């Protein structure tokens, strides 16, 4: 059992996070395809299909997170996406494409975040956070404080996500320009 407020906070984070991520992928589809191509893990002919599937899966997480009774499915799909992205990053790194842009910056074309172990660890942490929402919640009604907590927790996690990406991008920029 998990407190309903905690589950609601995680589901709110999932809906907001993947809505932003899917919006980025759909509005900057060509740059998203370019990021996937940079991973060097699939033939170029498959990249548009893979990009469309990833964006569609993220939209599905948002829809399922908002539908009563489907939240555990949303959490499992969200965790699967985080883990899948981590695996793709690991394969790309092992193939020597560690300098490729991860495509994690929600359309911030001025900031490139290169693939690396920290991003894999970040995605593992996000998957663990997401799996909290799979647990059966206690039976009670949401109160106003749950709504406030959910929004603030979601904002905090997303801000930490963006700060982590900015830190990695800054470190990569410094390493690139110090040599």
For residue range 46-87, list pLDDT tens digits in order. Answer: 999 999 999 999 999 999 999 989 999 999 999 999 999 999
Beta-carbon-side half-sphere exposure of residue 13 (alpha carbons within 13 Å): 30
Decide if 124 contacts 82 (C-beta within 8 A): yes
| pTM over 0.85, yes/no | yes
């Amino acid at each position: 059992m998990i407190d309903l407020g905690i589950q609601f906070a995680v589901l709110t984070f999932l809906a907001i996070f993947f809505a932003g991520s899917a919006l980025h992928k759909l509005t900057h589809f060509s740059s998203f395809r370019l990021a996937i191509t940079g991973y060097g893990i699939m033939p170029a002919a498959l990249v548009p299909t893979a990009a469309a599937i990833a964006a569609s899966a993220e939209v599905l997480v948002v829809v399922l997170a908002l539908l009563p009774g489907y939240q555990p499915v949303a959490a499992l799909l969200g965790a699967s996406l985080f883990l899948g992205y981590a695996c793709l990053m690991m394969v790309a790194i092992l193939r020597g494409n560690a300098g490729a842009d991860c495509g994690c910056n929600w359309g911030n074309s001025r900031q490139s975040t290169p693939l690396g172990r920290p991003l894999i660890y970040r995605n593992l942490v996000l998957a663990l956070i997401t799996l909290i929402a799979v647990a059966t919640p206690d039976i009670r009604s949401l109160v106003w404080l749950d709504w406030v907590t959910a929004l603030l927790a979601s904002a905090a996690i997303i801000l930490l996500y963006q700060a982590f990406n900015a830190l990695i991008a800054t470190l990569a920029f410094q390493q690139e320009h110090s040599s």
